[in-house]
Amino acid sequence: MSKIFETPLYPYTRSTDQDAAEPAQHPVIVVGAGPIGLAAAIDLAMQDVAVVVVDDNDKVSWGSRAICFAKRPLEILDRLGCGDPMVDKGVMWNLGKVYFDERQVFGFNLLPEDGHKRPAFINLQQYYFEQYLIDRVRQLQAEGKPIELRGGNKVLEVAQKEDCVDLTIGTPDGPYRLHADWLIACDGAASPIRNMMGLDFVGRVFEDNFLIADVIMDAEFPTERWFWFDPPFNRGQSALLHKQPDNVWRIDFQLGWDIDRDEELKAENIDRRLKAMLGEDIKYELEWSSIYTFQCRRMDRFHEGRVIFAGDAAHQVSPFGARGANSGLQDTDNLGWKLKLILDGKAPESLLDSYDVERIHGADENILNSSRSTDFITPKSEISRIFRDAVLDLSERYEATRPMVNSGRLSVPCTYDGSPLNGPDCDGMPERTRPGSPMVDAPLPNGWLLDRLGSGFYLVAIDTDVPETLEIDGVGITGLRLSTDGDADGYLHQRYLGEAKSAVYLVRPDQHVAARWISYDEAETAGALRKAIGRSR
């Protein structure tokens, strides 16, 4: 069993701010040293934005918690400099199987096409994820980047002012005050910051409970996602099996609504369920267990004045579908470059309104898919159950019915259709790379496309020419010229040209497409850039 969550990795030490005569002012303070808060801080520090992370804890999370990380968030972590350790340690998987009663009704492949650097998913315990992010923080500190991590620092009070946020921080040495130009609340689903500000979620809480049991055992199961409807070992309910590193297996049991949580979490009752599923001779060690309830909720707005919410602090979805941490990472990916431009005076503060628009769009998409999954997994009427079971029966023989089976629609990257930041599009180009969509990776003769894109604006030209660099309203753009002459398998052509003979893509710092054309035009590029940074006139 890993003991990483028992070791303080950022223990409390007294900071100079605690001895200052007046409250110190910081450009950005992040509350919460979980995956989302650390990712936000790393993104900002890499852009030379000074950031302080405060958390009342000093360790990584106890228990594996979030374990499924999708391809797009892995690509975001590549940009942040910590994708490799995640993939090196994680269990890679693309395949899943769905069972009804005792029989497999079908299987699926989440990444059937080649030409991608990263797999569809990896499974990795959250405590490892947090450790790698903390390692990256230490690496950035060694490089002289302006990032600080303060354990044992608990936010006690928050007060908004016109030009800053005033915080009172509790420590073992007593309270002290700080000012932040901007505060990012990544303090989880129970978000004390949100509660202090009198804000709340809107949405649904579903009447069902699920038991998580993470067990260490030697097993011969393949590295696939297995989901059961109405299995003999959990009649009338569902179950899920996933493999994690270190021979840890995640098992979820649907329990129903009217349960005694304390009773269900007793070791002997967990043992009874595991033996019913895996056999009486099973030998295992229970690493972590928990019970959760499906919730699909979000805030009305993701920023209030100078306080910005991200991850579970802003939205909650049911765990089936791996949409929690994955969508939180897309929050920070969307936010970091916008905050950098605002702090540098190159974009108006109103650019943050697009964070609301785009990430609420992403949250609503996740909530819709998660709610549908929940309704299918836990039918609320006999008619719904009869329909669900008929779909499962038919899916064994008829491929056309399989899209109706919903064992948790798995996380996919969000496309910001209708975003106010989107610029011109061009007919005949592939729909998957339209404005608002994340760039799709592709192999190049000297590496991978997404690895060539950093944390700035890019003009990606395929079989045409663009300037190597240009500057518009103080914002730099880097030109990247590519040719299909080296595109032996046609991935660039399929993903970026379509019917066009050439293409130019304006790419945002979060690697989403801002606009695209057949060829370069300076005035068109300037107009699209101004729109992408909220300065269109």
CA distances from 173 to 12, 18, 20 (A): 10, 9, 14
Q: Tell whether 54 and 156 lie within a shared domain.
A: yes
Is residue 159 in a domain? yes
Tell me the C-alpha distance between 354 and 302, whole Å: 10
Tell me the C-alpha distance between 33 and 188, whole Å: 10
Q: Tell whether 327 and 439 lie within a shared domain.
A: no
- Chain center to CA of 512: 15
Tell me the C-alpha distance between 39 and 43, whole Å: 6
Q: What pLDDT sits at residue 295? A: 79
Where among 332, 351, 370 does a domain terminate?
351
pLDDT of 61 over the 90 cut: no
Q: Taking Cα atoms as reference points, which of 309, 327, 336 lies closest to residue 365?
A: 327
Query: Is 157 strand, coil or helix?
Result: strand
Q: What pLDDT sits at residue 207? A: 66
The secondary structure of the chain in percent helix, strand, coil, rounded to multiples of 5, reads 35, 30, 40
Under 8 Å between Cβ of 462 and 482: yes
CB atoms within 10 A of CB 389: 15
Q: What is the pLDDT of residues 305-338, one digit of tens each?
A: 999 999 999 998 876 656 678 999 999 999 999 9
Q: What pLDDT sits at residue 409? A: 59
Q: Tell whether 309 and 190 lie within a shared domain.
A: yes
Q: Which tokens belong to 311?
A: 């991850």
CA distances from 68 to 325, 338, 352, 366, 411 (A): 8, 27, 29, 15, 9
pTM given for the model: 0.94
Question: Looking at this protein, which amino acid is placed at residue 30?
Answer: V
Q: What is the pLDDT of residues 156-188, one digit of tens each?
A: 999 999 899 999 999 999 999 999 999 999 999
Least confident residue range of 73-82, 156-165, 277-286, 339-348: 277-286
Partnered with residue 527 across adjacent β-strands are none
Q: Tell whether 40 and 185 lie within a shared domain.
A: yes
Tell me the C-alpha distance between 247 and 185, whole Å: 34
Is residue 231 in a domain? no
Tell me the C-alpha distance between 385 and 74, whole Å: 36
Helix ranges (DSSP H) in 91-236: 126-142, 192-196
- Band of the pLDDT at 2, cuts 50, 70, 90? low
Q: Tell whether 337 and 449 lie within a shared domain.
A: no
Under 8 Å between Cβ of 434 and 495: no
457-462 vs 475-482, strand pairing mode? parallel
Q: How many domains does the chain have?
A: 2
Q: What is the pLDDT of residues 195-241, one digit of tens each?
A: 999 999 988 777 688 899 999 998 888 888 899 999 999 999 999 99
Q: What pLDDT sits at residue 322? A: 61
User: Given phi > 0 = left and psi -120 to 50 = alpha, else beta, which region is 164?
Assistant: beta
**CATH number of the domain within which 449 lies:** 3.40.30.120
Q: What is the pLDDT of residues 233-280, one digit of tens each?
A: 999 999 999 899 999 999 999 998 888 999 999 999 999 999 999 998
Q: What pLDDT sits at residue 38? A: 98
Residues 6+ apart with CB under 8 A from 175: 156, 168, 169
Q: Which tokens belong to 239?
A: 């179950």
Query: Is 85 strand, coil or helix?
Result: helix
Partnered with residue 103 across adjacent β-strands are 100
**CATH number of the domain within which 179 lies:** 3.50.50.60
Is residue 520 in a domain? yes
Q: Tell whether 24 and 127 lie within a shared domain.
A: yes
Partnered with residue 145 across adjacent β-strands are none
Q: Which tokens belong to 440?
A: 């799709």
Under 8 Å between Cβ of 464 and 458: no
Is residue 259 in a domain? no
Q: Where in the sequence is the domain holding 127, given as residue range(s)?
A: 4-91+121-201+300-351
Is residue 294 in a domain? no
Q: Taking Cα atoms as reference points, which of 349, 381, 313, 308 lies closest to residue 533?
A: 349
Tell me the C-alpha distance between 103 and 530, whole Å: 56
| End-to-end CA separation in angstroms for the chain | 58
Q: What is the pLDDT of residues 106-138, one digit of tens each?
A: 888 877 789 999 988 899 999 999 999 999 999
Is residue 152 in a domain? yes
Q: Which of 141-145, 390-394, 454-458 is predicted most confidently?
A: 141-145
Q: Taking Cα atoms as reference points, which of 387, 383, 213, 184 lies closest to residue 289?
A: 213
Q: Tell whether 319 and 441 lie within a shared domain.
A: no
Partnered with residue 9 across adjacent β-strands are none
- Band of the pLDDT at 1, cuts 50, 70, 90? very low
Question: Looking at this protein, which amino acid is placed at residue 34?
Answer: G
Tell me the C-alpha distance between 375 and 253, whole Å: 16
- Band of the pLDDT at 62, cuts 50, 70, 90? confident
Percent of the chain with pLDDT over 90: 74
Q: What pLDDT sits at residue 321? A: 56
User: pLDDT averaged over the chain?
Assistant: 92
Q: Tell whether 48 and 160 lie within a shared domain.
A: yes
Under 8 Å between Cβ of 63 and 214: yes
Tell me the C-alpha distance between 136 and 143, whole Å: 11
pLDDT of 50 over the 70 cut: yes
Is residue 221 in a domain? no
- Band of the pLDDT at 438, cuts 50, 70, 90? very high
Is residue 225 in a domain? no
Tell me the C-alpha distance between 461 and 473, whole Å: 22
Cα atoms in the 13 Å half-sphere on the side-chain side of 60: 23
Under 8 Å between Cβ of 19 and 160: no
Tell me the C-alpha distance between 294 and 149, whole Å: 32
Least confident residue range of 128-132, 147-151, 283-287: 283-287
